[in-house]
Chain A
Amino acid sequence: MSPFQSSLFKGSARDLFTPQQVQQLMRVEFDRSKRHGHPLVMLLIAVDRLAQLQDLYGAGLRDDVLRAVAGLVRTSSRASDALGCMLDDRLLVLTPHTPAEGAASLARRILEGVRAMSFDGLGRTTRITVSIGGAHSQTGRMELAFDTLLDVAEGGLKVARESGGNRYVHSDLYEFFEERRKREQRERERLAPPAAIPAAGAPPPVAPAAAAAIEVPGEAGDAPLLGAKIRELFGLGAGENELLARIQQEVVASALREMKAEIERALGERQSEHRREIDTLERRIQKLTQALGMTDAELKRALSQHSVDPGVASIYTSVQGLSSNDVQHELKKELMSKIFQANLELRKQISPGKSEQA
């Protein structure tokens, strides 16, 4: 059972649905919003360095983290009709009746809320961050498919993560993804005549350079809508295949330029992140070594306090045993035998039958 599902919709009947069923509900909600013309927002959220967290602190902490983030998303989204489910290790949220601007502010609330959270693992307090990719239905220019929204959110998330995480990215590549989706669908229809309804839970793969215009909260609130600019630049309507290729090229080129800068920044950040991690690990090793030394000293002290004495080995300098050179050898031998007999007798008296026969 995914932690997201069990807590995001705690107390609701939707608790009973599987992630696939929740996604189906999302699609229904998406269609309804299209029919009635009300906006909705989609966010795809991933906890940064989740795999490392799990390696360091175990699956228990990983589940705690996901559950806590899900809880935070639920309270942040405010809308009672928000839908959420796990998509692999990511949280997919759909909030109906929410305008485009709502995506950025919801994302900001989540980013801030997560930064304020802390977790205890291995006696240490751990803090986490998340990356968020966003999409909304209010493009006003075309009929979008649910999967396109998912692609846009996924593209945004990818860029957010690769930029070092702890940020929200909303790419404006609706058109690009919509066109690609349609083309792929046509391709599929040609190959396999009976059209299959896209399977829930299996979003189409994202193109490597699919991310484009980047919107980071706090920076330039009015990020240019790249798609609109391109259209403006080329004076194009949607669907013109020949020009689409050129548009794609331009978009990719422009995206690549921005990506390059982003990647460089991300690499730098990741390096310093690694350095911090190594530093932490080194400090912990040092601490453990110190603790080991202390335990060692403690042991030695305890040993010396209880004066565990190795003892002194028997030697034969003062007395050499009964020597046959002894002038009284025979007499002593007899006396020894008598002492022995007396002791044997004594044992018999003390515990009759127990002693051996002499």
Chain B
Amino acid sequence: MAKQSSEATNKDQGVLYLGIDLGTSRTSVTASNGVRETVASYVGYPKDVVARKLLQKDVLFGDEALEKRLSLDFYRPLAHGVIKSDNESAKNLKAAADLIGEIIRRARPRRDELIYAVIGAPAQASINNKEAILKAAKEHVDSVMLCSEPFSVAYGIDMLDDTLVIDIGAGTTDLCRMHGTMPEDADQITNTFAGDHIDETLAKLIREKHPEAQFSIQMIKSIKEKHSNVADNMPPVVVNFPVKGKPTPFDITDLVRTSCRSIVPPMVDAIGELIGTFDPEFQERLKGRVLLGGGGSQIRGLDAEIERQMYERLGGGKVLRVEESMYGGANGALKIAHDMPAEYWEKLR
């Protein structure tokens, strides 16, 4: 049907392209109708009839779900960058499917348009997970493709060769070597020293130093997002925690710095490995093009700190940040969706 010519700039009207970043902590979409939306990757279902009456909804998403989680069966369906499959796996899969449906709805597609979506899935997603994601997406779109998340981040900013993409998410940090072709397994390293790890480390440090302070992991996460910094001369972080019910100020500056820095050594380990196994001719170029993306890339001073440790251990390096950490993955996925020839889309319908 569609010929090679359909890849020309002038694509048929009536198709809405979606780029979706299915993340552990945030799920985002950018669409060819100009809509961009993001929602925290939380899904909640009212626990009982009373809760449903009160909330007047059958399912809640994002921060709203987080806020009302006490009256909800609460899911974080992509907790480790993949759809969790524990004993609650069936419900988790449903939560993931509902989340995908919701983000597509938020892209506000018209009923008369075809929807073609590229979903940036975590690089290490299992075949079962990919199947679940595809199945969920197909209920809402006309054609769908999966793509590795770090690749779509790089594609979004046209850094297709000799670039080392580092996507610092909540559950995982994904490193991916781009060398002008599709990255393979050997080009990717994933570790779990990411946002959640920082939260857990910070919580542990505070508990050790101030056992009397009362806090929840959610409180720690917001403190981190507000004050995250790895610089030696970072501004002081003084926060209030209740002690026996009474708000009490604590200076946790050093603890914040220490926990934020905790992800850097394993990251530089992985950088060293990916560079060390690269074509020697291009190793220097790769070192000079390290690209930071994902929510964790917003840690102040992180680029400088990585550069410092790279200098110490690898003899040098240059680190850049993706401009829009929040939509980097989704933007790239949308670009792929656009650049994909029409006949490919049609074959995967």
Contact = CB atoms under 8 A, between A and B. Distances in A.
A279 B232 CA distance: 90
Given A328-B158, A343-B145, A315 B34 contact: yes
Given A320-B9, A323-B9, A313 B110 contact: yes
Contacts of A338: 181-182
A344 B347 contact: yes
Contacts of A21: none
Interface in B97-113: 108-111, 113
Given A312-B34, A343-B145, A332 B11 contact: no
Contacts of B17: 314, 319
Interface in A297-356: 309-324, 328, 331-340, 342-344, 346-347, 349-350, 356
Given A312-B108, A313-B110, A332-B339, A340 B182 contact: no
Contacts of A340: 145, 340, 344, 347-348
B341 A336 contact: yes
Contacts, number: 112
Interface stretch (B192-200, B257-265, B290-298, B330-338): B330-338
A355 to B, nearest CB: 8
Given A313-B110, A336-B340, A343 B11 contact: no
Given A331-B180, A338-B182, A356-B347, A314 B33 contact: yes
A312 B35 contact: yes
Contact of B7 (A322, A331, A349, A358): A322
Contacts of B340: 322, 336, 339-340
A311 B182 contact: no
A320 B17 CA distance: 11
B62 to A, nearest CB: 16
Contacts of B33: 311-315
Interface in B147-190: 147, 155, 158, 160-161, 180-182
B134 A339 contact: no
A315 B158 contact: no
Contact of A311 (B7, B110, B344): B110
B177 to A, nearest CB: 15
Interface in B114-161: 127, 130-131, 134, 145-147, 155, 158, 160-161
Contacts of B181: 334-335, 338
B134 A311 contact: no
Given A321-B338, A322-B9, 13 more contacts: A312-B34, A313-B16, A314-B110, A314-B113, A321-B8, A321-B339, A331-B161, A336-B344, A338-B181, A342-B146, A346-B130, A349-B127, A350-B134
24 contacts: A310-B111, A311-B110, A311-B111, A312-B110, A314-B17, A315-B33, A316-B11, A318-B34, A320-B9, A321-B7, A321-B9, A321-B11, A322-B9, A322-B340, A331-B161, A335-B160, A337-B344, A339-B182, A339-B340, A340-B348, A346-B127, A347-B134, A350-B131, A358-B347
Interface of A: 309-324, 328, 331-340, 342-344, 346-347, 349-350, 356, 358
Interface of B: 7-11, 13-17, 31-35, 108-111, 113, 127, 130-131, 134, 145-147, 155, 158, 160-161, 180-182, 334-336, 338-341, 344, 347-348
